[in-house]
Amino acid sequence: MRIHFSIPPEEVEFTAIRAQGAGGQNVNKVSNAVHLRFDIAASSLPEEIRVRLLHLGDQRISKDGVIVIKAQEFRSLEKNRAEALRRLELLINSVAVTPKARRPTRPTRSSVTRRLDGKARRASVKAGRGRVDE
SS3 15: strand
Percent of the chain with pLDDT over 70: 91
pLDDT, tens only, 54-111:
888 888 888 888 999 999 888 888 999 999 999 999 988 888 888 789 999 999 999 9
Q: How far apart are CA 61 and CA 69, in angstroms?
A: 9
Instruction: Label residue 134 exposed, middle or buried (CB < 10 Å: 0-12, 13-18, 19+).
Output: exposed
Could you say which architecture CATH assigns to the domain 9-96?
Answer: 2-Layer Sandwich (3.30)
What's the predicted TM-score (pTM) here? 0.68
